[in-house]
Amino acid sequence: MVFNSFLFLLLFFNLESAFRALPVHAHVQNLNPNASSLLAGIEIPNLSTFNGVSSSQDCDFTSPEKPEELTEPQPVKLQLKHRSSGQPTMPRKESLLESAASDFTRIHTLHKRILEKKTRKTLQKPKKTDHKLAGKLKSGEAESPVPETFAGKLMGTLKSGVTLGSGEYFMDVFVGTPPKHFSLILDTGSDLNWIQCKPCYDCFEQTGPHYDPTQSSSYRNISCHDPRCSLVTSPDPAPRCKPESESQSCPYFYWYGDSSNTTGDFATETFTVNLTTNVDGHKLNHREVKVENVMFGCGHWNRGLFHGAAGLLGLGRGPLSFASQLQSLYGHSFSYCLVDRNSNSSVSSKLIFGEDKGLLSQPELNFTSLIGGKEAPVDVFYYVHIKSVIVAGETLDIPEKTWDLSSDGFGGTIVDSGTTLSYFADPAYNIIKKSFMEKITRFALVNDFPILEPCYNVSGIPDYKKDLPSFGIVFNDGAVWNFPVENYFIKLEPEEVVCLAVLGTPRSALSIIGNYQQQNFHIMYDTKKSRLGFAPTRCADV
């Protein structure tokens, strides 16, 4: 069984992930007070940048004293539920192997994307990009929104994919008119939002029904003549865009790996989240906030290891991502806080769009610079620059050039919510692994455990954490990210074995700080100031 699992990892060495901005519009309308919502938590006091906000008369929204002056956009806090199971579930060997297989596939594909971007040798013939349009979307420029100020909480869910055999985190989204619920993988490593659509000619198994565009009054195909069509890559060979047909849809193709991809129609749709208005801390009523004209892919041919999800929600730096498309509403920053993956269903975490003053006032908040512009080979990823690694207080002797981005696009480090474990380029990984093995002497080494190493038998030792060395990353600008033991050692049940939750990649591949190391840290992505923030936080308390 172990040997077969290892072969499975070797066979699957190819996948990826998804997200950015366009003129979007938000509307508010009544929710049935008796209807239960699958979404949970967002705070939007005095938000002024919704495009065309409408509401019923019983909305207790405030208006600015000077309508001609825009108030500062306030953050939107989405509650992120962790899992659907009622009890904590420790990781098991089988689920870890599958997550590692998915990670290896993803890493290989991310590297291929970088190589293709750098050499301009893509698998398809890309359309000529409308750089002027893409530049406006990246900067958050859009049609001027109608000034409107209101207060409230926007509620959503983000949960772990562990119960579905996935290492990713899932977000509940309502799409269409009337809104229908879909569970999408949250991904900071790609910028296309997409959902499996009817008719589904070739689709993977998902939880719940496929999205049906014919049942939504707000669905709109983007024409192949529309300038926005240049933001996606066409299938190869690309269908001819007939000059006499204004209604011909814009086809897209997005590749994740040798067997993972999505193809369909590029379109716009209304995405809905829940709004709860409050006065002096007392809950008044519930409403829906509808964000219109969100660009997404309506996928009719979809393949890949997506573990029951309906599709992907992109949070990358590219102009198509959900984060980018919300920039005209909430500015250029978003953050999330991922709860412990072993917590039960009563524990939740947050996804926040906009500047979170609570996080900015956190005394343990650190910032490191994001690498962008000409230095970053692909503008979708969030690159950071590692300088050194510290184990048990000792700075390891890893050549600094190991972490550099080379002129041909190889190397570098990204922070990625769609990768489960963390991966460091060789020879850095080998030096890190050797250091841990030299410093851990109390526990018996487990040599026959596949994939991860070193692994140790901690059976009957409840205080094992205190004997595991500390671990931290030092960035090129001096910022330091120290991790708690549970973020870099993973305990597997029922074996009662702990393993270093770090793996190696070839020198030419990316280094990745995955979501396992991000647990119980509030992570902030600020593209305007080009920085990544991180603060140790009990995410359940955010």
pLDDT (tens digit per residue) in 205-219: 898 999 999 999 999
Residue 415: strand pairing partners: 513
Mean pLDDT of 65-84: 49
Task: Note if 477 is an active site residue.
Answer: no
Of 114 and 134, the structure prediction assigns the larger pLDDT to: 114
Q: Which of 65-69, 281-285, 481-485 has the highest mean pLDDT?
A: 481-485
Rg (CA), the chain: 23
Range in 252-261, 392-401, 457-466 with the lowest mean pLDDT: 252-261
Which tens digit of pLDDT belongs to each residue from 495-531?
Answer: 789 999 999 987 667 899 999 999 999 999 999 999 9
Q: How far apart are CA 447 and CA 457, in angstroms?
A: 10
pLDDT band, residue 359 (cuts 50/70/90)? confident
Q: How many CB atoms are located within 10 Å of the residue 127 CB?
A: 16
Mean pLDDT, the chain, as a whole number? 74
Task: Note if 416 is an active site residue.
Answer: yes
pLDDT band, residue 492 (cuts 50/70/90)? confident
Of 92 and 181, the structure prediction assigns the larger pLDDT to: 181
pLDDT band, residue 104 (cuts 50/70/90)? confident
Task: Check 103, 172, 416, 526 and give the catalytic one.
Answer: 416
- Which pLDDT belongs to residue 179? 93
Range in 106-110, 193-197, 266-270 with the lowest mean pLDDT: 106-110
DSSP line for 312-350: EEE-SSSTTSHHHHTHHHH-SEEEEEPPPTT--TT-EEE
Contact, 18 vs 187, CB < 8 A?
Answer: yes
3-state secondary structure string, 265-296? EEEEEEEEEEEEEEECCEEEEEEEEEEEEEEE
Task: Check 172, 187, 340, 356 and give the catalytic one.
Answer: 187
Check pLDDT > 50 for residue 59: no
**Residue type, position 247, single letter:** S
Tokens for 482? 């120290």
Range in 33-47, 93-107, 301-315, 345-359 with the lowest mean pLDDT: 33-47
- Which pLDDT belongs to residue 439? 96
Mean pLDDT of 120-129: 41
Q: What are phi and psi of 228, to 5 degrees?
A: -65, -20
Give the DSSP H/E element, type plus range, for residue 8.
helix 2-11
**Which residue ranges form the domains of the chain, and what is each CATH number?**
152-356 (2.40.70.10), 357-541 (2.40.70.10)
Q: Which residues contact 59 (CB under 8 A, 6 or more apart)?
A: 28, 150, 277, 287
Q: How far apart are CA 137 and CA 485, in angstroms?
A: 40
Mean pLDDT of 473-492: 95
% of residues, the chain, pLDDT over 90? 37
For residue 367, how far is the Cα from the chain centroid? 19
Of 282 and 418, the structure prediction assigns the larger pLDDT to: 418
According to DSSP, the β-strands at 511-513 and 413-415 are: parallel
Check pLDDT > 90 for residue 142: no
Tokens for 522? 């509030």
Range in 62-71, 358-367, 466-475, 532-541 with the lowest mean pLDDT: 62-71
Give the DSSP H/E element, type plus range, for residue 113.
helix 93-119
- Which pLDDT belongs to residue 72? 55
Check pLDDT > 70 for residue 22: no
Q: How far apart are CA 475 and CA 462, in angstroms?
A: 33
- Which pLDDT belongs to residue 86? 40
Pick from 12, 99, 169: nearest CA to 499: 99
Judged on CB neighbours under 10 Å (0-12, 13-18, 19+), 12 is buried
Which tens digit of pLDDT belongs to each residue from 446-467?
Answer: 987 778 899 999 999 999 999 9
Check pLDDT > 50 for residue 425: yes
Q: How far apart are CA 265 and CA 222, in angstroms?
A: 8
Of 95 and 325, the structure prediction assigns the larger pLDDT to: 325
Helix (H, G, I), strand (E, B) or coil at 125: coil
Mean pLDDT of 392-409: 89
Q: Which residues contact 509 (CB under 8 A, 6 or more apart)?
A: 107, 108, 111, 410, 423, 425
Q: What is the pTM of this model?
A: 0.77
Q: Which residues contact 299 (CB under 8 A, 6 or more apart)?
A: 194, 195, 196, 197, 200, 203, 262, 263, 264, 311
Q: How many CB atoms are located within 10 Å of the residue 346 CB?
A: 9
- Which pLDDT belongs to residue 185? 84
Helix (H, G, I), strand (E, B) or coil at 103: helix
Judged on CB neighbours under 10 Å (0-12, 13-18, 19+), 401 is exposed
Could you tell me the CA-to-CA distances from 540 to 351, 355, 518, 536 in Å, in that order?
12, 19, 14, 12
Judged on CB neighbours under 10 Å (0-12, 13-18, 19+), 283 is exposed
Q: How far apart are CA 420 and CA 472, in angstroms?
A: 18
Report H helices in 352-463: 357-360, 428-439
Tokens for 52? 């065309």
Q: How far apart are CA 5 and CA 95, in angstroms?
A: 11
Range in 31-35, 273-277, 470-474 with the lowest mean pLDDT: 31-35
- Which pLDDT belongs to residue 64? 32
Which tens digit of pLDDT belongs to each residue from 223-232?
Answer: 999 999 999 9
- Which pLDDT belongs to residue 4? 40
Of 102 and 368, the structure prediction assigns the larger pLDDT to: 368
